[in-house]
Amino acid sequence: MSVKIVVGSQWGDEAKAKIVDYLASEADYVVRFQGGANAGHTVIVDGKEYIFHLIPSGIMYPDKICVIGNGVVLDPTALMDEISELQKQGIEVEGRLFISQKAHLVMPYHKLLDQAHEHSKGNKSIGTTGRGIGPAYRDKAARVGIRIVDLLNRSVFTEKLESNIQAANEMLTKIYGYEPLDVNEVIDAYLEFDRKIDPFVKDITTLLNDAILDGKNILFEGAQGALLDIDHGTYPYVTSSNTTAGAACIGTGIGPTHVNEVIGVMKAYTTRVGNGPFPTEFDDEFATQIRDIGGEYGATTGRPRRCGWFDGVIGHYSAMINGLSSLAISKLDVLDTLPEVKICIAYRHEGRLLKHFPVDSDVLDGIEPVYETHPGWQEPTKHIRSYSDLPLNARAYLERISEITRTPIKFVSVGSDREQTIRL
């Protein structure tokens, strides 16, 4: 029996799905536990690209059971689009995709409110994905959210929906000057989802706890990254869920004593989409160069990602708040051509050295990164499958990352294909 959690350890987009896809071959269950269709998880198998927003990346293996936990906010339209896209590729999900009855729904008014709020904030916006994530989690916390279990009970669903649409319309019209939603249109459109989603709904808390008792292997697939965590990230420039390892327990209902391993995925450099502090961000010209080599465009929104050097302060912080047992370093190959590579080892603020990640966004805005410069390896690595075959300078760079984060490296990814993975 093994229970492993894979989490993003920077600002998301660390290529978690590739590591999950690799480890899924050894798992029986692959489980999403937080976030929603804001995630964009890309898996490349035999040169063919698949992007998942809600469905766990393990769906690529026909014998794996995939689970969407209670911590996820689920947009039924996005889910159905994803299921039909998979069916078109010949991948059947019925009988092996299960969704928690306790998961909350993302409704059209959540998406409108997300977009309207972002628009109203102008240059102070968070830069959300516009997928309604914040408003859906807000309804959950306010105890007015609609859960999957409600969707299966027409009278409860209609009553809750009517009341929520009325509340949303007040905000849409009075605060943001938007047109109101037609209550009946939304109800009609969404009532049909009960029949479509019903085959997938299950008590996944019991399903997973029974599986653990039966000695099965469970793999948790995190979405976004540690610095986007609502509690531990660069608040308010974060997502609205807990993205760190502890959320795997809350987002499914398994106890922390069952978890054996937490693998943190970090890129060999850093990226971020959306607004907010980014201490090691490159200047525009260098960012464009790395963005082009690394294909750094959002899988959900297509937005160009901001790029920067590896930030060891963040790496260390992330290892701590996730309790990482090992690291998977992704996209090493993107740095292959550089004559030198830098690692940020501390921040300087008003003449003082900060070795720990500051929580105050004003401090974060005013810090200067302190870098170590390492010689580049300037050799291709994409074809390498064994750690000892990596160029000496690449190994030295990786070993320094491991030292700074105080975490052993278990995987190094040197390309987007499943095969381009080095296991240590």
How many CA atoms are closer than 13 Å to the CA of 204, on its beta-carbon side? 32
Helix residue spans in 68-173 (DSSP H): 76-88, 108-120, 133-141, 148-151, 154-170
Closest-approach residue to ligand IMP (CB): 274
* Element housing 285 (H / E): helix 284-294
Q: Cβ of residue 298: shortest distance to ligand IMP, in angstroms?
A: 7
Min dist CB 295 to ligand IMP, Å, is: 14
In the complex, the residues that contact ligand IMP under the rule CB under 6 A are: 12-13, 38-40, 126-129, 131, 133-134, 223-224, 228, 237, 239-240, 273-274
- Min separation Cβ 382 and ligand IMP, Å: 24
Which residue bears the tokens 């060999």? 268
58 vs 225, beta carbon nearer ligand IMP: 225
Question: Quick one: three-class SS letters along 12-54?
Answer: CCCCHHHHHHHHHCCCCEEEECCECCCCCEEEEECCEEEEECC
Nearer to ligand IMP, 40 or 394 (CB): 40
The string over 28-41, giving b where at least 16 C-beta atoms fall within 10 Å of a residue's C-beta and e elsewhere, is bbbbbbbbbbbbbb
d(CA 252, CA 232): 20
CB of 242 to ligand IMP, least distance (A): 12
Identify which of residues 211 and 266 has a Cβ nearer to ligand IMP in the complex: 266
Q: What is the distance between the alpha carbons of residues 417 and 383, in angstroms, rounded to a whole number? A: 11
CB of 229 to ligand IMP, least distance (A): 10
Q: Which residue lies nearer to ligand IMP by CB, 101 or 361?
A: 361
For residue 158, with 0-12 CB atoms within 10 Å meaning exposed, 13-18 middle and 19 or more buried, which class applies?
middle
Residue 346, Cα to own-chain centre: how many angstroms? 26
Q: Catalytic positions, please?
A: 13, 41
- The residue (of 51 and 187) whose beta carbon lies closer to ligand IMP is 51
